[in-house]
Amino acid sequence: MDNTIERNIRSVQKRITDAAVSCGRLPEEITLLAISKTFPEESISQAAAAGLSKFGENRVQEAEGKILYFRERSGFEWHLVGHLQTNKSRRAAELFDVIHSLDSVRLAAKLNQTCLDMGKRLSVLLQVDLGKEESKSGADPEQVRGIIEKVSLLKGIRMDGLMTIPPFFEDPEQARSYFARLRELKESLESEQPGCLGRQHLSMGMSHDFETAIHEGATIVRLGTSIFGLRHYD
């Protein structure tokens, strides 16, 4: 049996540990989220056999089949990391444990209503648009405080931190300023209103720049290709 995925996981776990130790952090502070978009159930099964239990998907429609496939297996946690349209919010709230891509009060209200109907409390992260790229979603940094204030009044969802996707740079060091800005924003928000970000997660860093993100305070790193290999799109 091909154990490439297991070897890849061991490799990135060591890199996470080394990055954490090098900046005086505990490796246990950092969650490895395996981004399984475009990869089949077999790849997820191999990752689970190697000890992973948290998986991230970009699209509700693609994720639904995988989540239902593994429904009988306990311990799995599913995260939505891609842009969420309001017309998919009900199904997303039903399927996922954590949503990283909340970006508006309108979307929050839709998720909240579904969660109230289900008797569920959903963990969400506020995606912040720091790169100002047309291809990326997220709340404007100037709107963050207002969104968090309104979300704090909702009973069906819990604001647990911030997420960002910086522009892609060949040199990961060029992304450092974006990660630092998200950390500084988190610290500022928590200073102004302690507890407003719940678990205070910083979801930032992907396969090419996660070590830099860890140095700037990432608590969740989203790794796909460094675990599963190159993606094959239709």
Q: Is 76 within the bounds of a domain?
A: yes
Instruction: List CB contacts of 26: < 8 A, sequence separation 6 or more.
Output: 20
Which CATH number goes with the domain that contains 143? 3.20.20.10
Q: 124-172, pLDDT tens digit by residue?
A: 999 999 988 777 789 999 999 999 999 999 999 999 999 999 999 999 9
Q: Is 154 within the bounds of a domain?
A: yes
Range of the domain at 27: 4-228
Secondary structure of residue 33 in the 3-state scheme? strand
Overall domain count for the chain: 1
Burial 2-21 (b: 16+ CB within 10 A, else e): eeebbebbeebbebbbebbe
Q: How far apart are CA 138 and CA 102, in angstroms?
A: 7
For residues 212 and 204, the answer to whether their CB atoms sit within 8 Å is: no
Q: Is 234 within the bounds of a domain?
A: no
Q: How far apart are CA 137 and CA 222, in angstroms?
A: 17
Q: 15-50, pLDDT tens digit by residue?
A: 999 999 999 999 999 999 999 999 999 999 999 999
Q: What is the pLDDT of residue 232?
A: 62
Q: Running DSSP on this structure, what letter comes out for residue 168?
A: P
Instruction: List CB contacts of 97: < 8 A, sequence separation 6 or more.
Output: 77, 78, 79, 122, 123
- Look at the block and give the residue holding tokens 């990660």: 179
Cα–Cα distances (Å) from 187 to 105, 144, 181, in that order, read 22, 13, 10
For residues 103 and 139, the answer to whether their CB atoms sit within 8 Å is: yes
Q: Give percent of the chain above pLDDT 70.
A: 97
- The answer on pLDDT for 101 being more than 90 is yes
Secondary structure of residue 112 in the 3-state scheme? helix
